[in-house]
Copies of this chain bind each other. A is one copy, B any other.
Amino acid sequence: MELPDPAPAHLVDPSAPDAEDVGAYRLLAADIASGVAVVAARHRRRDVAATVTGFLDVSYDPPTMLVSLFEEGRICDAVESSGAWTLSVLRRDQEGLANWLASPGNPVEGLLDGVAFRRAPHSGAPVLDGALAWFELSTVAVHTAATHRIVVGEVTAMGRGVAEAQADDPLVHYARGYRGLTR
């Protein structure tokens, strides 16, 4: 049922986006709801971890996921260099943790001193205690997309950081804030 008038649109020339284009995109893209996870890797005997909303379940067979990481970030370097990483999907009551691991100024040393975690079986990368679900992945491909790297991994281990009964209240990111789900 095609409506007669065209959609009112903000047009963009992707070869030369200006500040207004980027601003309009940021506003609209903020309206994409997403789960929240912590991506982590063990790199040069140090634990690196960061909050992400840019991750996806890609395939069931074999179990495959991807994460999109800003190419200049510490976590991108750690994930790419180590070749193995974890995703810990956060529950709603882990908002404080999400904020801590999203802070630009958080420390390289002692980042997880106040965060309860265990080690994933293959890589030893941190798995956050209390996660709704967690996955350990082995990188199979890395693709550049604009300012980001798309890291695709196959699942080598997975589990929950919380009892099954508690696993029904995910943290959700929407419109630059955190929310919960209605029942």
Interface string of A84-125 (1 = CB under 8 A from B): 000001000000000000000000000011111111110000
Task: Determine if A146 is an interface residue (Cβ-Cβ < 8 Å).
Answer: yes
In the assembled complex, how far is the CB of residue A125 from the closest CB belonging to chain B, in whole angstroms? 11
Residues of chain A having any CB pair with chain B under 8 Å: 1-3, 5-15, 17, 21-22, 24-26, 28-29, 31-35, 37, 54-66, 68, 89, 112-121, 126-127, 129, 132-136, 138, 140-141, 143, 145-148, 150, 152, 154-161, 167-168, 170, 172, 174-175, 179-183
Q: Which of B29, B35, B59, B126 contacts A63 (CB 8 A)?
A: B29
B60, A26: Cβ atoms closer than 8 Å: yes
Known: A143-B150, A145-B152, A172-B33. A7 touches B159 (CB 8 A): yes
Known: A56-B56, A115-B1, A158-B28. A64 touches B145 (CB 8 A): yes
Known: A14-B62, A62-B14. A7 touches B112 (CB 8 A): no
B33, A181: Cβ atoms closer than 8 Å: yes
Q: Which residues of B contact A28 (CB under 8 A)?
A: 133, 135, 158-160
Known: A11-B157, A145-B66. A132 touches B31 (CB 8 A): yes
Within the assembled complex, what's the spacing in Å between the Cα atoms of A180 and B183?
A: 8
Q: Which of B5, B60, B120 contacts A9 (CB 8 A)?
A: B120
A31, B167: Cβ atoms closer than 8 Å: yes
A33, B143: Cβ atoms closer than 8 Å: no
